[in-house]
Chain A
Amino acid sequence: MTNAVDVRGVSKAFNRGRPDEVRALVDVDLAIEPGEFVSMIGPSGCGKSTALRLMANLLEPTSGDVHVNGKPARKARLDQDYGMAFQQAGLFDWRNVTKNVELPLELKGWDRSRRRERALEMLHLVKLDEFAEHMPWQLSGGMQQRVAIARALAAHPPLLLMDEPFGALDEMTREHMQAELLRICGETSTTVVFVTHSIPEAVYLSTRVVVMSPRPGRITDVIDVDLGPRRDVDTREDPAFFKKITEVREALRGMERASSSEAAGPPQPAGMEDR
């Protein structure tokens, strides 16, 4: 079976050969199978967003290989093999909700009626049927983010890449959106790579949590999360859930201790999940 994402020996440096060179990622290996939900977590500057952008081929690696859907990342991007969502919903103010969802299909050259049909189907999936004709600025932040997810999945890509998509939402909306995302990805059997700062978010959503450390960015731990199907609030109150949260937190702490003994830098605040 082809891996959904295959990252092999990837390093990424910015401003190479200059005094301000930054080694964003060093020797990263990661294989993600279809159907997985993988979160990447770590403090700011650990290169998790860079890793996601390498998978999306928005950046090219300095060395190593990135394959998506069994193809080189560039080919996968040109074939629109993935959908993407960012912290900013990034909706186009001059297009109504339906037209926003239609955009990737428009660029694929779909005809009008087929586009519209698919867009309405996607809006039904994210439960925004009544808002099809609304303009983006008439929607709340959570609703805008749902439109962004509908747009990312409009072409039915097998892979969804998400960069802190719920980072700007309040806690209540955020938990609701997490449950919705699991439902949507379950219904569409989409593989997800999800970048986040939040430990509970990573644990609640994922089948695997990838823990990363900064300067230079590398993977320090991969934690399997087996909480079964999570559809209800009960999961968040399950002792097994808390146990996993502790495990991820310990992994982040351990890496912190290691790096602070190396570099003797100021200790990182413990509450990094709030950032």
Chain B
Amino acid sequence: MNRSPRALAAMVVAPVAFGIAFVALWEAAVKVLDLQPYFLPPPSAIWREFQANAALIWEATKVSGSNALVGLVIGTVLGVALAFVLSRFRVLNELVTPLAVALNAVPIFVLVALFNNMFSVTSEVPRRLMVTLVVNFIVLVNVAKGLTQVDRTHVELMRSYAASEVAVLRKVRVPNAVPYLFIALKIAAPAAVITAFVSEYFGGSQNGLGSRIVGNIAISKNATAWGYVLGACLLGLAFYLAAVLAERAATPGRPQSAE
């Protein structure tokens, strides 16, 4: 994993150059084609709005971000715990895993509308509950796979050592599941952010990034809405990077899983 400085530079320079070119093209297209601000505002206007509303965007980011974080943490803990239970009892695993996979394939965000009904209008609980559910499935499916799909040779070796079930769990299954947990986190962290602000589209307090985007579009403040979109992108990116850094910290020197 020791990339040479040159390779690292190439890795950074190319996407940055592409990003700058893309923004420049966008700006030029708006000017040349004389696009109206309600259709597509130029990046310069979005940047101005982003700066002008920085404090508000930060407040909204904190709301959506903390919903995402709370859901991510609880969902991960629950997912890991359930994975242990399911991998211990094969029958349960065969019952629950297909269900979890199937549920994960449907847009379960819509459940948040029902959760909103259960709690008070200003409660953040429905959104956090939604994030928890989404994260829980991702973590559960991956970690259960890591705990059960163990190298056949490892199983035979442990049997030849007369190892107990507990020893096999501690020395083989759990370490085998660690990379799977981080694969799950790298999917779940951005998904948590997306779920947190999509959940805001279904009513409740108007304080997060999602509701601010909708609110500003409603009053035709398009560039401002785009400013919040930029905030949302940065939040998602921050969550993903945190997951990647956590993986690097937990498994130093090991070949990283596919990113």
Please measure, in the bound complex, the distance between the C-alpha atom of A69 and the C-alpha atom of B153, giving whole angstroms: 24
For B160, the chain A residues whose CB sits under 8 A away are 56, 58, 77, 80, 82-84
Chain B nearest CB, measured from A223 CB (Å): 28
* Residues of chain A from 13 to 66 with CB closer than 8 A to chain B in the complex: 53, 56, 58
Please measure, in the bound complex, the distance between the C-alpha atom of A92 and the C-alpha atom of B174, giving whole angstroms: 12
Q: Which residue of A lies closest to B255 (CB)?
A: A137
Pick from B151, B178, B254, B255: contact of A90, CB under 8 Å: B151
Chain A nearest CB, measured from B73 CB (Å): 24
Total contacting residues, chain B, CB less than 8 A = 19
CB–CB A78/B255 < 8 A: no
CB–CB B154/A94 < 8 A: no
- Beyond A58-B159, A137-B255, is A90–B175 a contact (Cβ under 8 Å)? no
CB–CB B159/A78 < 8 A: no
**Is A86 interfacial (CB-CB < 8 Å)?**
yes
* Residues of chain A from 90 to 117 with CB closer than 8 A to chain B in the complex: 90, 92-94, 103-104, 106-107
For A53, the chain B residues whose CB sits under 8 A away are 156
Chain B nearest CB, measured from A97 CB (Å): 13
**Is A135 interfacial (CB-CB < 8 Å)?**
yes
Segment touching A, from B22-30, B161-169, B180-188, B207-215: B161-169
**Is B217 interfacial (CB-CB < 8 Å)?**
no
* Residues of chain B from 206 to 259 with CB closer than 8 A to chain A in the complex: 251, 253-255
CB–CB B175/A92 < 8 A: yes
Q: Which residue of B lies closest to A155 (CB)?
A: B161
CB–CB B163/A107 < 8 A: yes
CB–CB A135/B253 < 8 A: yes
Q: Which residue of B lies closest to A93 (CB)?
A: B254
**Is B171 interfacial (CB-CB < 8 Å)?**
yes
For A94, the chain B residues whose CB sits under 8 A away are 175, 178, 251, 254
CB–CB A86/B156 < 8 A: yes
Q: Which residue of A lies closest to B158 (CB)?
A: A107
Pick from B154, B159, B161: contact of A92, CB under 8 Å: B154
**Is A88 interfacial (CB-CB < 8 Å)?**
yes
Please measure, in the bound complex, the distance between the C-alpha atom of A77 and the C-alpha atom of B161, giving whole angstroms: 7
Chain B nearest CB, measured from A56 CB (Å): 6
CB–CB B162/A92 < 8 A: no
For B178, the chain A residues whose CB sits under 8 A away are 94
For A58, the chain B residues whose CB sits under 8 A away are 156, 159-160
For B251, the chain A residues whose CB sits under 8 A away are 94
- Beyond A90-B153, A93-B254, A107-B167, is A78–B172 a contact (Cβ under 8 Å)? no
CB–CB B161/A103 < 8 A: yes
CB–CB A107/B161 < 8 A: yes
Chain B nearest CB, measured from A75 CB (Å): 10
- Beyond A56-B160, A103-B161, is A135–B254 a contact (Cβ under 8 Å)? yes
Pick from B153, B162, B172: contact of A77, CB under 8 Å: B162
Q: Which residue of A lies closest to B171 (CB)?
A: A103
**Is B118 interfacial (CB-CB < 8 Å)?**
no
Please measure, in the bound complex, the distance between the C-alpha atom of A58 and the C-alpha atom of B254, giving whole angstroms: 31
For B52, the chain A residues whose CB sits under 8 A away are none
CB–CB A107/B159 < 8 A: no
CB–CB B254/A104 < 8 A: no
Please measure, in the bound complex, the distance between the C-alpha atom of A80 and the C-alpha atom of B157, giving whole angstroms: 11
Please measure, in the bound complex, the distance between the C-alpha atom of A120 and the C-alpha atom of B159, giving whole angstroms: 24
* Residues of chain A from 116 to 146 with CB closer than 8 A to chain B in the complex: 135, 137
Pick from B156, B159, B161, B175: contact of A104, CB under 8 Å: B161
CB–CB B172/A92 < 8 A: yes
Chain A nearest CB, measured from B79 CB (Å): 21
Q: Can you spell out 19 A-B residue pairs with CB atoms less than 8 angstroms apart?
A: A58-B156, A58-B160, A77-B160, A80-B160, A82-B160, A83-B160, A84-B156, A84-B157, A84-B160, A86-B156, A86-B157, A88-B151, A92-B175, A93-B254, A94-B175, A103-B171, A104-B161, A107-B162, A137-B255
Top 5 A-B pairs ranked by shortest CB distance?
Answer: A90-B153, A94-B175, A88-B153, A78-B162, A84-B160
Hey, which bits of chain A sit against chain B, CB under 8 A? 53, 56, 58, 77-80, 82-84, 86, 88, 90, 92-94, 103-104, 106-107, 135, 137
5 additional contacts (CB under 8 A) given A84-B156, A93-B254 = A77-B159, A77-B162, A79-B162, A90-B151, A107-B162
